């Protein structure tokens, strides 16, 4: 288990709420008059996805995929594991993948590749956070909340060793071991 002495607020709950409203408005405008399939990447995206879909005014279906390149630690293993897949045909659908954070981009590259191969009309990526300094693959984020520094962040669905997902803000972990 990881021990944390302190979590410093990086992005407040109010800032998150405002950004979610902005992203939902862009999605509503980009897909006006159409249906969207929203796919949340478990587990980290659940809070962001929940807030986002409440603001999407289009007809929307919600599904989940579980994909990760992280084990119990804070560093990517580099190997992407899909442990829960989407149980819906995506042919000719508008798909929006919702992720908590794009770090190296390895996991998301694999997920986007997989969903595009299923014949979707559009596959767009919506991420709450991005750490561009850690990127190992080029990934296009269509709807981005915030860029964050190369520090380990928790809260608003993001965890360390399955803890701290319930924080209503995004914080930087200090003194973790």
Domain, as residue range, for 90: 16-150
How many structural domains is the chain composed of?
1
**pLDDT given for residue 35 in this prediction:** 98
**pLDDT given for residue 60 in this prediction:** 98
pLDDT along the chain (177 residues), means of 10: 74 97 98 97 94 98 84 59 85 97 90 92 97 92 96 92 92 76
Catalytic residue among 103, 159, 161, 177: 103
Q: Is residue 120 part of a domain?
A: yes
Contacts of 162 (CB under 8 A, 6+ apart): none
Catalytic residue check, 85 = no
What phi, psi does 64 have (nearest 5°)? -135, 150
Q: pTM for this structure? A: 0.89
Q: Is residue 74 part of a domain?
A: yes
Q: Is residue 174 part of a domain?
A: no
63 Rama class: left (phi>0) / alpha (psi -120 to 50) / beta:
beta
Q: Is residue 2 part of a domain?
A: no
Give me the CATH number covering residue 56. 3.40.50.2020
Contact indicator for 122, 112 with CB cutoff of 8 Å: no
Q: Is residue 8 part of a domain?
A: no
- Which pLDDT tens digit goes with each residue over 69-115? 655 555 556 677 777 878 899 999 999 999 999 998 988 998 999 89
* CA-CA-CA-CA torsion sign (128, 167, 107, 131): positive
Most distant CA atoms of the chain, gap in Å? 50
């Amino acid at each position: 288990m990881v021990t944390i002495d302190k979590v410093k607020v990086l992005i407040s709950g109010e800032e998150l709420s405002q950004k979610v409203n902005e992203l939902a408005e862009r999605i509503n405008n980009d897909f006006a008059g159409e249906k969207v399939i929203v796919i949340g990447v478990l587990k980290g995206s659940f809070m962001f996805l929940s807030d986002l879909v409440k603001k999407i005014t289009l007809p929307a279906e919600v599904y989940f995929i579980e994909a990760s390149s992280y084990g119990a630690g804070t560093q990517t293993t580099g190997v992407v594991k899909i442990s829960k897949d989407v149980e819906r045909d995506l042919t000719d659908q508008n798909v929006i993948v919702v992720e908590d954070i794009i770090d190296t981009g390895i996991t998301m590259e694999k997920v986007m590749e997989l969903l595009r191969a299923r014949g979707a009309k559009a596959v767009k990526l919506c991420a709450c956070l991005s750490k561009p300094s850690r990127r190992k693959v080029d990934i296009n984020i269509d709807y981005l909340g915030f860029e964050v520094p190369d520090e380990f962040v928790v809260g608003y669905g993001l965890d360390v060793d399955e803890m701290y997902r319930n924080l209503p803000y995004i914080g930087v972990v200090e003194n973790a071991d």
